[in-house]
Amino acid sequence: MEDAYAGTGHDPWSEEEIQTLIDKFPEGQLCIEMEGKVAASALSLIIDYRKFGDRHTFREVTGDGTFSTHDPKGKVLYGIEMFVHPDYRGMRLGRRLYDARKELCENLNLRSIMAGGRIPNYEQYAPELSPRQYIEKVRRHEIADPTLTFQLANDFHVRKILRGYDPDDTESRGFATLLEWNNIYHEEEEVLVGAVKEEVRIGVVQWQMRLFPDLDRLMEQVEYFVDAVSDYGSDFCVLPEYFNAPLMAEFNERPYLDAIRGLAGYARPIRERLVDLAMKYNVNIIGGAIPDLDGEGHLQNVSYLCRRDGGWEAAYKLHPTPDEKTLWGMRGGRDIRTFETDAGRVGILICYDIEFPELSRLLADEGMHILFVPFQTDTQNGFNRVRICARARAIENECYVVIAGSVGNLPRVHNMDIQYAQSAVFTPSDFAFPENAVKAQTTPNTETTLIVDVNLGDLKELHNHGSVQNLRDRRLDLYDVVRKRR
């Protein structure tokens, strides 16, 4: 890649990124070897094209280099790279790779191959020709483009022009051709069970803090709410941060640091019970956020996504509050990622994390549809920080944001004495959504549930045809939000 892209301004993928790609989709990473050396290579993903539409960017379709967008259940083979070492050019190796991709597409029964194609010679003609005029002249063989001419000769057709596809591609002036090759042998498979939903129902629990004598009684109350939202056919049940705080009364006579670690001892049993409830009631549970100890004994705040198929994953609070750090010695997590579910791609940011816009922007670049925010605030000031920031995140990232908090008092639990909350579901602000961008909200400081339907198709329509397009209109030539590699 370094040799093939020399002088183009393109940086090659890191070894770690390429290994991630191989781990996720080994069949899609094609290589031609000559004399013991890599002579040419083609890299690809399988994607659910409905999540991206015809106006995506390279960053969006690759998950900003994380390749989290790879979906084995998708129907489109998406080509993300193809390159030939300069020493082996002129040997028709690119055609071999294209043929291999087509064979792979047919064998996997995928609908098509798509790619964003560079037009590197456009830089020479940009002062006099629009991208459309340039492509038409290449099509009529009046101009030769080393990439587009080759792709047209390999039975690809230009579906549309992509603006801002790769702002770093100065030769193409940021433009790209959306290329497509259709697999005429593709046979549609009717999905009868387990298809990803477009209409998603969310059940939000506004939890009343009260003392419980033990874990069993606490989980009885949790099960009551899971059962309640499940009766309405909810796809998600969302619990608030520190819903298990009443159990800390057992350790009330201990110093703060010991008390919170005593509460962390309940984390694994709670997770196991939440997984059981998710399967029993056929609902994905966002397990609030509870303190837990990692393998080295460090205290962290974690939200468990418990899927209704019995699986689970963890999202860690990245920014502990000043009190969590000074009183409890809590550490922030280091993993920023989305989670694929049977009801869309979701993100989880815990309370204070929603006040850092960079986090949700990184998740949006991975194709997030719904952002869940379990929170715990004691004053209206703290609550409004969460609420106002959550509303902003929904608009700027073109996604739904769900906040779930707790209410009431815990007079015998230090540092958890009072709660203030008004749980809600926020939307982007455009014609398909409520005028005030609030889908629904609870009565403040009252124990209740909120049952809300959101449509993921409306998000796709917003991405492609919204009155304004916050994600697409970013000036990535001037600024960016970059994930640091660990």
Distance separating alpha carbons of residues 300 and 296, to the nearest angstrom: 11
User: What distances in angstroms separate CA 133 from CA 116, 126, 177, 201, 416, one per listed residue?
Assistant: 18, 10, 13, 46, 65
User: What distances in angstroms separate CA 129 from CA 133, 136, 151, 159, 326, one per listed residue?
Assistant: 6, 10, 21, 19, 62
Provide the 10 A C-beta neighbour count for residue 13: 17
> 171, 122 in Cβ contact below 8 A?
yes
Q: Which of 227, 269, 229 minimizes the C-alpha distance to 247?
A: 269
| Secondary structure (3-state) at 278 | helix
List CB contacts of 48: < 8 A, sequence separation 6 or more.
71, 73, 74, 75, 76, 196
Which residues are designated catalytic?
241, 317, 351
Where on the phi/psi map is residue 174: left (φ > 0), alpha (ψ -120 to 50), or beta? Answer: left
Tokens matching residue 425: 């579901």
Residues of the chain by 3-state class (helix, strand, coil), percent to 5: 30, 25, 45
Adjacency order of strands within the sheet including 400-404:
339-341, 344-348, 370-374, 400-404, 424-426, 438-441
Distance separating alpha carbons of residues 141 and 28, to the nearest angstrom: 31
Strands (E), 366-447: 370-374, 400-404, 406-409, 418-419, 424-426, 438-441
Distance separating alpha carbons of residues 242 and 351, to the nearest angstrom: 10
